[in-house]
Structure 1
Amino acid sequence: MHTNRFPLAALVLAVAAATLSTSPESIAAPRHAAKAAAQKKPSADAAAPAPAVGESAVAGGAPALAAKAWLLMDFDSGQVLASANADEPLPPASLTKMMTSYLVEQALRTGKLKKDDLVTVSEHAWCRGSSSESCMYLPLNSQAKVIDILRGIVIQSGNDASKAIAEHMAGSEEGFAKLMNAEAQRLGMTHTHFVNATGLPDPAHKASARDLAILARAIIRDSAEYYPIYAEREFTFHGIKQGNRNALLYTDPTVDGLKTGHTEEAGYCLVTSSKRNGMRLISVILNTRSAQARADQSRTLLGWGFSNFEKAAPIPPEAVVATAKVDFGKVDTVPAVLGAPWTVTVPRGQQVQTSAQLKPALEAPVAKGAVIGKVVASSNGKPIAEAPLVAQADVERAGFLLRGWQHVTKMFGK
């Protein structure tokens, strides 16, 4: 997270980057910027989507944002705090590259890739000097280190970098898309289907706001070593310096990621993460009319979230939540406790109620720490989060004679 003041030059760079309108997400090298701007009318001329009114537990509701879909998620719990059209599959443009980068990061984490491994740039991956797409400008048949490729994907949104690593990891971009879809399924992204590693338009290439928030949460949670790259404001490769298109990185020190996207079909999109006073929120804005609008709406949504929600600990650590009945054990019951400290995010000033749900017909042996139920937190009568309950102690299985007696007493309802 950046806490220092940002230099004026960086702010000017951010504003310039945010207002270019080439597609998809194409701020090319500085030498291409003027040509690209001249080739296309300013995106501000595009019609703004009708304001999408969201659903939220906050009295008075969530803000209405001029985007086709949007969502605000609490990072720690995964709770959706407010949303509109959250499950509608939409073109994600370069937000797709969050899955591409996530797969690279996890391969690095598990040792399947090394930072210094060399990736070859094929003719399919190579950008042919066009200013109509976003590129890292890797030379044809050249090689680049995996860590540079990762930065090219995250910071420069390089289509060439994305295609090159896809071929390196899976043999082809089509093969890599299969890995992307398998990972999406594992993460619970139920309204997403990837066709390519870049987000270039395809009728079958879709993702929902909820799914993209789930993916962002996975990146922050699972890629701790590499997540700081998402906050880097520029990257230079082969003498070409390009700025990160996430304008909030230059204006809000609490923002530390994640990714921008834009095509004509997808509109302007942004997934953002911000952490303030120990609470991290993830916002998703899909299909709004300009780079400025996606930044403004993300800022509005995050500000509303931090102003209207707070963290609460419904149950103190190590407190006994309930007592579970155990059949055929040396003891008849076992205390049920939280497996880990638990916090939930609730509208400011609202009370939190909890209820325990224990597994029926629990039989010994029961190991200490085994999940034996769950506790559900509710606010204003609506469930907002849940956590597993575990056994506080071991329960050994009773001997033969004691179990026989217990069987008899069960038969007679005693």
Structure 2
Amino acid sequence: MAELNTPVLYGLSVNSNKAGYALMRCGAPLSLDGRYSETEDAFIAKAIEDIGVMKCTKNEGDCEHLTNNEGDIKSLREVIEGLDVTFTSDSTPVRTFMEPALGVMTDKQRKLVKFTDPNPNNDPEKFETESYLEAISAARIITKYPLYLAAFARADKRIEHYGDDSNGVLNGAYFRNVKSKHIRFLVDGSGSMSACILWGSTYGNWKIYWSGSYYFWSRQNCALTRMESLQTELTSLLTALSPDTKVSIQSFSSPGRKNHKVWEQSSNGLIKIGNDGMRESAIAFVNSLDNGRPTKWGGTYPWEGLDASFKDNETDTLYFLSDGEPNADRMGGSWQANDHDPTVAHYSNFNNTREQVLKTNTIALGLESPWMEKLSTNTTGDYLQIDKDYVTTNSSQ
């Protein structure tokens, strides 16, 4: 993408029907090929429409509306004009009644944009724990969507289609060229996924992370872990998939450990994401992968998930993501470099017995994985290596 000589600025305004908020961008427009086109005149456009309005957290009737100098209830435009947007501890201020339901966090380099809970002080069982959109139709029907925007934001990320029936190709930072209607996602749930990708500049409660060799405790706030980056990417994709797409989601770790599990609705095969409640259930499963202490998540044993994927003749595309070498080979022995070729040959031969080829796309998160690359090459898939440079490059676009 071309470099800019002037920055692109973002700010909040009211949405088109004055019933909610919108995120606006001001700066060089993007052309159809994804390049910036700098002009002399400022170009203002909506990046995100229909950002929700924070609800009252008190008992019904006890909320006090914001008022202006004349004593009248403030309009949303008046609320936004007086809104505090100063970042404190790498985050926007806590949002309260009538303010935008949008929380933003960044890292100390100010390259990451991560949407978070706009009011973490609220009871999570009663109120939303993420930023959200709230669209109101002409018939005054309110539809609410959790706002799982990818952390690696481009200059214009307008959300216009929530699971529409488009046949176009979907792309994220991790899951590329998604166009199949029969997809399996096999993702790493091991404790090493707690490794921090981008550190914040502030300190808070003690938390445990993976260093690359061992677990350690730190009070420094982490803006984004490997697991959080996976969750953001996958929930964004699940939100955008067309309703007729059939999916299965499985995470792998050590058999019997916390994150060695399958999304229950897809335990017997692919399930249509547009069926009643399935999209929300799938997203809830993905968001459950960071529950508990990372030391309880388990190790790296992908074989059960790979075997299930290659045995499923309904699936034609697999996305396989891992952040480490397997803890053991397929037979339970120690994983060695000389296991690469036999492992790839096993699944390549398995592919030849299938009714249709399983296109296996592999994503190596934080490592270089020759065997995953060979697996993709031999199964007509794509290999993507994600490292810190890739993350920071994508986050600055």
Q: Give the TM-score category using the shorter length.
A: under 0.3
Query: Is the radius of gyration larger for structure 1 or structure 2?
Result: 1
Q: Which has the higher helix share?
A: 1
TM-score normalised by the chain length of structure 2: 0.23
TM-score normalised by the chain length of structure 1: 0.23
